[in-house]
Structure 1
């Protein structure tokens, strides 16, 4: 009897992840959209921090994109960590190239290094990856949320291209997360999750989070979001503040990247749990909902576990198999809603046929998490082949 109840409890904690998105979506539809003002009374001064580690090939395009912003008050700080900068030359006073004397090998160290070398005090910072391109209205869209009093804002990362099946699947995942973990959470009164780049903060808030916290390896965004929401501040979501991101293009690249990401979830799981517990103690809806999302396993893990539970119930002849079938169907429906909401290209929908292969690669990533942080702290991007998968 005890084993039976333990089995039911285990299934609940796995299966609720399938159903929660669609339940929140129903609430999202019922909550009236607030007509927030888009009026901005001041031009905020931004320090734009571009972090590069070992690779500089894409930096000229990134900087050119930033120099094309429809905005005036900003300075670009390129932190070229462990990079050869002899070939970098920018004839614009708005660009400052910084090369740390010692290898930092850390996003937060690079950000703090840039802040320490600001040519003037910037009220806001925005973090851009060395492979991102920005929409011309990026900073103007960020300003709308800062004008409303928010101190942290996450924009949208869209794929530059999805010429390979893996890149398209990677983009599909982003559509799902942007909607359910970004727009939906924010509209429901909680916080958008941070995505690593395409995000902006009050400089003072970022310093409060990391000035006495030295973080090594990947996952700074997970620590940062937990610290911000732990203060019961909300992370706003700016759906029109767009950066274009280089997606993973081949299987080797995907496995290495995902192994680092999965490693960070296990490493920082406790942070999500602490936010959730604090939310119940203070009755903060922001912290309760956000903490619930933070403790959720990576997408492929709870899907794989759900399929195993479904199969186990079929083999046992249990009526719970019907419940699992409905839950999986609801999750697929939610995933489809995320793609449709984001107006995903048909190429992305067609790529979903490759889900079994994509799941296999994710399992390979899981098996490599023990040594994940011994690899490069940055994803090595490669040029896609015209035929199928990119070649490294």
Structure 2
């Protein structure tokens, strides 16, 4: 009986710490963020390869390329990898745009990236990855350079919402704001690394090749493998809140379910890296690896929230003190979520959409039920106007 009680307590701690982790990160960030990172080299216009991946559909490619050609920067080339696409309608007069059409279907982000790397027109110092539904802010590369010039080899920017036309898009954007604030700005500012988001990120070409060269990462989640490989070297992934790409948000429930099923599948597939990094952090006395390992072990938001509700409900029959602790934990989580929104200049439409969170969670539960077969779904997901490479 005593063993069961200990196991029950341990389970609650493992779930409950996720409710307070955001505010713990905020506390560490508040102590450490005033320590400025100095620039180690004079600002230069480093040579970038901008890799745009598309699968099956290229409808949005002209708009994406147009935004990239409008960058306030001169030293870059754009490589559009049009995998299993009809490129007959793609015509660009600018010599900075290179259209690559693989002869064999690649059906994978990493394969598309290395196809571009293997067809580079010159030896680019850095590369950045853009999805086929992204638009880039004119200062995107200049802002990335600020972090690279501080000595970092990997940088994650911000993916702001391109569309807020539906409730689902607003809730999707709210989720992104939460993760950008805690898993980006605060995690990096606390002395660890920003988590990678699949696009709007940049690396030295050498680091990317060293980490993923020779590894055939199939399905979604290449960013999980990449960030684990970077952190295993105890390198830090910098966060840049001003390196902005505009991202198409989920607009329909069916699209939401399929997309989230793939994301949930990747968490179950790759959360094991968290244990590896925690062990390495002890060996290396590394705050970078320790905090990042904790974040990797954290389940998707809706999963640990549901488990927390279940723990609280069980404790109604066991311990009212525990119920009070769980209630306090929920209060701290809500406070943390609110702080992420108020610190991010959140659109009022996003605030208005929050009343629909229960419905959003319901569709994510459906996604969980489909997660095992998630990779059987098409790697392309379509919005109302276009199709984009799945993240």
Is the pair's TM-score, using the shorter chain for normalization, greater than 0.5? yes
Secondary structure at the aligned position of 2:265 is classed as: helix
CA distance in 1, matches of 2:118, 2:139: 27
Q: Contact 1:269/1:294 (CA < 8 Å) preserved in 2? A: yes
Alignment partner of 1:5 is 2:6: yes
1:202 corresponding residue in structure 2: 204
CA distance in 1, matches of 2:374, 2:162: 26
CA distance in 1, matches of 2:17, 2:85: 45
Aligned residues: 384
Q: Report the CA distance between 1:18 and its aligned residue.
A: 0.3
CA distance in 1, matches of 2:36, 2:260: 38
Q: Contact 1:155/1:240 (CA < 8 Å) preserved in 2? A: yes
1:388 corresponding residue in structure 2: none
Secondary structure at the aligned position of 1:319 is classed as: helix
1:34 corresponding residue in structure 2: 35
2:25 corresponding residue in structure 1: 24
Q: Contact 1:48/1:76 (CA < 8 Å) preserved in 2? A: yes
CA distance in 1, matches of 2:42, 2:313: 54
CA distance in 2, matches of 1:207, 1:174: 28
Q: Report the CA distance between 1:317 and its aligned residue.
A: 4.8
Q: Calculate the aligned-residue CA RMSD, in Å.
A: 1.3
Q: Report the CA distance between 1:152 and its aligned residue.
A: 0.2
Q: Report the CA distance between 1:206 and its aligned residue.
A: 0.4
2:378 counterpart (372, 376, 379): 376
After the TM superposition, which parts of structure 1 deviate over 6 Å for at least 4 consecutive aligned residues? none
2:302 corresponding residue in structure 1: 300
CA distance in 1, matches of 2:259, 2:143: 29
1:291 corresponding residue in structure 2: 293
| Worse overlay, 243-252 or 18-27 | 18-27
Alignment partner of 1:125 is 2:127: yes
1:333-352, Cα deviation, whole Å (9 max, x unpaired): 00000111111111111111
2:182 corresponding residue in structure 1: 180
Q: Which runs of 5+ in 2 are unaligned?
A: 387-391
Q: Report the CA distance between 1:163 and its aligned residue.
A: 1.1
Q: Contact 1:69/1:138 (CA < 8 Å) preserved in 2? A: yes
| Residues 110-259 of structure 1 mapped to structure 2, 5 A cutoff | 110-259=112-261
Q: Report the CA distance between 1:40 and its aligned residue.
A: 4.5
CA distance in 2, matches of 1:85, 1:383: 18
Change (3 A) 1:327 1:245: same
Alignment partner of 1:261 is 2:263: yes
Q: Contact 2:55/2:84 (CA < 8 Å) preserved in 1? A: yes
CA distance in 1, matches of 2:123, 2:77: 11
1:320 corresponding residue in structure 2: 322
1:387 corresponding residue in structure 2: none
1:11-48, Cα deviation, whole Å (9 max, x unpaired): 00000000111122122223352344578531100000
Q: Contact 1:40/1:143 (CA < 8 Å) preserved in 2? A: no
Q: Contact 2:33/2:190 (CA < 8 Å) preserved in 1? A: no
CA distance in 1, matches of 2:33, 2:368: 40
| Worse overlay, 149-158 or 38-47 | 38-47
Secondary structure at the aligned position of 2:254 is classed as: helix
Secondary structure at the aligned position of 2:364 is classed as: helix
Q: Report the CA distance between 1:316 and its aligned residue.
A: 3.5
Q: Report the CA distance between 1:284 and its aligned residue.
A: 1.0
Q: Contact 1:40/1:144 (CA < 8 Å) preserved in 2? A: no
TM-score (norm 1): 0.96
TM-score (norm 2): 0.96
1:79 corresponding residue in structure 2: 81
CA distance in 2, matches of 1:11, 1:317: 13
Q: Contact 1:232/1:287 (CA < 8 Å) preserved in 2? A: yes
Q: Which runs of 5+ in 1 are unaligned?
A: 385-392
Secondary structure at the aligned position of 1:368 is classed as: helix
Q: Contact 2:33/2:189 (CA < 8 Å) preserved in 1? A: no
Q: Report the CA distance between 1:280 and its aligned residue.
A: 1.4
